[in-house]
Amino acid sequence: MGLAADLDYRHTSGNPVHRAMRWVGGTRAGGWFFSRTLRHMDNAIERVTHGRQSAPWLLSGLAVLDLTTTGRKSGQRRTSHLIATPYDGTLALLGTNFGQESTPAWALNLEAEPRATVSYRGTSRDVIARPATAAEADEIFALAGEFYMGYRNYRERIGNLRRIRVFVLEPLTAA
């Protein structure tokens, strides 16, 4: 068993509406729109459904987990709603930020403090994030592109503007 199995985390192929929304999210305009609105939509939907649903799940059928990191500047705990990629029995995270020019804060927080917590459907696990190797990053992007083509578009759009952080999450075991 690995982290993905422990959390029962997986993506579905989605219905036609989900697949259309995945396409929209992968476009430049969709990435711009969702980078500015999805967090707010997600917070509202989670509040109304008492955490049982998320905006990306309702819109696109993509599984969303919560990643709680420690803020690199504030030291405060910060939670981000992210789409993870099941990878080699564990989970991987891609810091694409919807193809925008800036690196997402959660990725910078993980670089500063790799210990974090992931939660999915009421199950939480402490993890440690490690940067993926170049070969792993390529494999993770390929896997992510199978369920959400936006990742391919984001990687292409970002190009040489910045380095996309890719993390592999490993369960943190008690010593």
User: What's residue 101's pLDDT?
Assistant: 87
CA gyration radius, the chain: 15
Q: Compute the 3-state secondary structure of the chain and give helix, strand, coil in percent, each to the nearest 5.
A: 45, 25, 35
* Res 166 pLDDT > 80: yes
Provide the whole-model pTM: 0.86
**DSSP state for residue 1 in the 8-state scheme:** -
For the chain, which domains are there? 3-171 (2.30.110.10)
30-75 pLDDT, tens digit each: 888 988 888 888 888 888 988 778 888 888 888 989 999 999 999 9
The burial class, CB within 10 Å (0-12 / 13-18 / 19+), for 31 is buried
Residue whose C-alpha is closest to residue 7's, from 51, 45, 63: 63
